[in-house]
Amino acid sequence: MIIKTPSKVILFGEHAVVYGYRAVSIAINLMSTVEIVKKEGNMVRLNLLDLNKAQNFDLDSIYNLNPSTYNKFDDFKYCLCAIKNTLNYCKINPNFGFELNISSKIPVSCGLGSSASITIGTIKAISKFYEKELDNENIANIGYLVEKEIQGKASITDTSTITYKGILEIKNNKFKKIKGEFEDFLKNCKFLIVYAEKRKKKTAELVNEVAKIENKDEIFKEIDKVINEALKTNNKEDFGKLMAKNHNLLKKLNISTPKLDRIVDIGNRLGFGAKLTGAGGGGCVIILVNEEKEKELLKELNKEDVKIFECKMVE
Ligand SMILES: Nc1ncnc2c1ncn2[C@@H]1O[C@H](COP(=O)(O)OP(=O)(O)OP(=O)(O)O)[C@@H](O)[C@H]1O
Ligand SMILES: C[C@@](O)(CCO)CC(=O)[O-]
Ligand SMILES: [Mg+2]
C-alpha cells in the first residue's frame, strides 16, 4: 500500500500560532510517499530512502519510546513517534510487523512541513494496514500529538493543513477552511517558494528558542494585526507589504538569517512582497510574484545559490 501526502506553506503567523494567535497556511503539491509492506515476526524496518538510512526496531520497544529516548534516533524519530501514537490511539495490538519505505519531494527541515507530511503519511499507512480506518479528525489529532511530543510545544497548523488540505486559518488550535473572496484572491496570486539555504536547526529547537524571548507576546500581537489586515485584502500590493511586515516581525524573534533576508529583499523589490516561511533559521522564503517583473525576479534569484519551487495548492 502506498500513501502520498502533501506539504504546506505558511503565509502568515508561524510561531505566533503556537501561542494561540492566528496563522494562515496552504497545502501544496510537494508530496511525500510512505509505502507499507507486511513483515512476519515482531519487527519494524524503517527505510528512509532520501536520507540513505535504514534500521530495524522491535515493535514492543516502539511502545516504550518517550521524548527523552527519541533523540538518539534522530531522523527516525518522527516515523517512530507516528507509529507509536497510531498504535496506541487505535488500540492496535499487532501480531505481525511491517516495513516502511519513506521518500519525499519535500526538502527536509526547510519550513515546508516535511515532518508533518511524513507523520500524516505514516499515520494513514499504519491505520489502514491494520484495518482501522480513521477519519480526518482522528488523523489530524494523532498528527498533532506527534508534533507536540517531538517539538515540546506545537500548534495544529502543519498537521491540520496537510490533513484537510486547501487554505486554513488557525487560531487557538482550532481551524477553519478559508473559502469565498479571500480564497479566490489567493488562487489568483502566484507564489514562488525559494529554498534559500539549509537549516542548521530543527523546528523543535527553533520553537524552544522562541519560547525564551521575553517580549514575544508583543511581537505576536503585531503579527496578529498583520493577519487581520491580510484577511481583508484583495489587493496584491497591500498583501505583499503585509508579508514583508510579517517578515520584519519574525526577524525580531531572531529566526531569520542574512541569506533569508537577502532573498526577502529581492522578493520585496522585484515581487509584491516576501517573507520566510515555517520555523525559520534558514530554509525557505515565499514570494508573491509581480508578473510584470517576474523575469527580472527570476534573473536575480538565479544569481543566488537557491532552488525555486513553483507549487500548486492541493484541495
Ligand atoms: N524524507 C524524509 N525521510 C525521513 N524523515 C523525514 C523526511 N523528511 C522529514 N523527515 C523528518 O522530519 C524532520 C524535520 O522536521 P522539522 O520539523 O525540523 O522540519 P520541517 O517540518 O521540514 O519544517 P517546518 O517544521 O518548519 O515546516 C527530520 O529530521 C526527519 O525526522
Ligand atoms: C514554527 C511553527 O509555528 C510552524 C512550523 O512549520 C511550529 C508549529 O506551529 O508547531
Ligand atoms: Mg516540521
Do 160 and 191 fall within a single domain?
no
What's the average model confidence in pLDDT over 252-277? 98
Give the integer Cα–Cα distance in Å for 163 and 141: 10
CB 284 within 8 Å of CB 196: yes
Smallest CA-to-CA distance from 14 within 106, 108, 112, 104 is with: 112
Catalytic residue among 75, 158, 217, 305: 158
The reply to whether 103 falls in a domain is yes
Give, as residue ranges, everything with CB less than 5 Å from ion ligand 3.
115, 203
Task: State the average pLDDT over residues 104-120.
Answer: 96
Whole-number pLDDT of residue 257: 98
Average pLDDT over residues 63-90: 91
Q: Is the pLDDT of residue 36 over 90?
A: yes
285-301 residue pLDDT tens: 999 999 999 999 999 99
Same domain, 274 and 163: no
* Secondary structure (3-state) at 149: helix
Ligand positioned closest to the Cα atom of 10 = 2
Judge whether residue 66 has pLDDT over 90: no
**Angle subtended at Cα 210 by Cα 80 and Cα 157, rounded to the nearest 5 degrees:** 55
Query: Does residue 263's CB lie within 6 angstroms of at least one atom of ligand 2?
Result: no
Residue 296 belongs to some domain of the structure: yes
What's the average model confidence in pLDDT over 263-292?
A: 98
| Whether pLDDT at 70 is above 90 | no
- The CA 292 to ligand 1 mean position distance, Å, reads 35
Task: Tally the domains of the chain.
Answer: 2
For residues 97 and 40, give the distance between their C-alpha atoms in angstroms, rounded to a whole number.
6
Strand partners, 101: 35, 47
Q: Give the domain range for residue 69.
A: 2-171
DSSP 8-state code for residue 292: G
Query: Of all residues in the chain, what percent carry a pLDDT higher than 70?
Result: 100
Asked if the structure places residue 249 within a domain, the reply is yes
Whether 279 and 109 have beta carbons less than 8 Å apart is answered as: no
- Note whether 200 and 281 are within 8 A (CB): yes
Among 18, 174, 210, name the best residue to mutate to test ligand 2's pocket (greatest count of ligand atoms within 8 A of Cβ): 18
Is 109 among the annotated ligand-binding positions?
yes
In the numeric block, which cell numbers belong to residue 43? 519487527
146, 171, 196: which is the final residue of a domain? Answer: 171
- Residue 206 domain flag: yes
Residue 315 lies in a domain: no
Residue 258 and residue 152 share a domain: no
Please state, as a whole number, how many other Cβ atoms lie within 10 Å of the Cβ of residue 138.
17
| pLDDT reading at 195 higher than 90 | yes
Pocket (CB within 6 angstroms of ligand 1): 48, 50-51, 75, 77-78, 102, 104, 108-116, 118, 158, 202-203, 278-279
Q: Give the pLDDT score at 64.
A: 84
Mean pLDDT of 201-206: 95
Is residue 50 annotated as part of the catalytic site, yes or no? Answer: no
Distance from the alpha carbon of residue 203 to the mean position of ligand 1, in angstroms: 8
From the CA of 106, the nearest ligand is 1
CATH number, domain at 143? Answer: 3.30.230.10
Q: What is the mean pLDDT of residues 213-239?
A: 97
213 has a pLDDT exceeding 90: yes
Give me the interface pTM, i.e. the ipTM.
Answer: 0.99
Q: What percent of the chain has pLDDT over 90?
A: 92
Residues 209 and 156 in one domain: no
Are 309 and 7 contacting, i.e. CB atoms less than 8 angstroms apart?
no
Section 235-249 average pLDDT: 98
- The domain that holds 259 is classified in CATH as 3.30.70.890
Q: How far apart are CA 17 and CA 25, in angstroms?
A: 11
HSE, side-chain direction, 13 A CA sphere, residue 204: 16
Give pLDDT, residue 67.
81
Does any domain span residue 128? yes
Question: Which residue has its alpha carbon closest to ligand 1 atom 28?
Answer: 75
- Please tell me whether residues 304 and 226 are part of one structural domain: yes
Give me 183's grid cell. 480564497
Same domain, 164 and 195: no
Q: Has residue 110 been placed in a domain? A: yes
- Contact (CB, 8 A) for 162 and 28: no
- Picking from 71, 25, 46, 266, the residue whose alpha carbon sits closest to that of residue 166 is 25
Q: Which atom of ligand 2 is nearest to the CA of 210?
A: 1
Average pLDDT over residues 19-36: 98
Residue that finishes a domain, picked among 111, 143, 171: 171
Indicate whether 21 and 158 sit together in one domain: yes
Shortest-distance Cα residue to atom 30 of ligand 1: 75
Q: What is the pLDDT of residue 277?
A: 98
The answer, yes or no, to whether residue 121 has pLDDT greater than 90, is yes
For residues 59 and 137, membership in a common domain is answered with: yes
Res 149: pLDDT = 95
Question: What pLDDT score was predicted for residue 311?
Answer: 87
Kindly tell me if the per-residue pLDDT of 125 is higher than 90: yes
pLDDT at position 95 is: 85
Q: Are 62 and 80 in contact (CB under 8 A)?
A: yes
- Mean pLDDT across the stretch 13-25? 98
When the pLDDT of each residue in the chain is averaged and rounded to a whole number, the result is 96
Q: Which three cell numbers stand for residue 282?
A: 534558514
Are 277 and 148 within one domain? no
Identify the three-state secondary structure at position 27: strand
Alpha helices in the chain (DSSP H): 59-63, 67-70, 77-89, 114-129, 136-151, 157-164, 181-187, 203-211, 216-232, 236-251, 258-270, 294-303
Considering 112, 145, 171, which residue would you say is the last residue of a domain? 171
Q: Is the pLDDT of residue 284 over 90?
A: yes
Ligand 2 and 14: CB distance under 6 A:
yes
Ligand 2 centroid to residue 40 C-alpha, Å: 38
Whose cell is 519513506? That residue is 102
Residues 224/230/231/232 CA torsion (nearest 10 deg):
120
Grouping H, G, I as helix, E, B as strand and the rest as coil, residue 293 is helix
Residue 41 is predicted with a pLDDT of 86
Residues 45 and 142 in one domain: yes
Q: Is residue 314 situated within a structural domain?
A: no
What was the pLDDT predicted at 210?
A: 98
pLDDT band at 220 (very low <50, low <70, confident <90, very high): very high
218 and 143 in a common domain: no
Q: Residue 29 phi/psi, 5° resolution? A: -90, 35
Question: What is the distance in A from the centroid of ligand 2 to the CA of 129?
Answer: 29
**159 and 74 inside one domain:** yes
- Dihedral of the alpha carbons of 254, 116, 193, 236, in degrees to the nearest 10: -80
133-192: per-residue pLDDT in tens?
Answer: 899 999 999 999 999 999 999 999 999 999 999 999 999 999 999 999 999 999 999 999
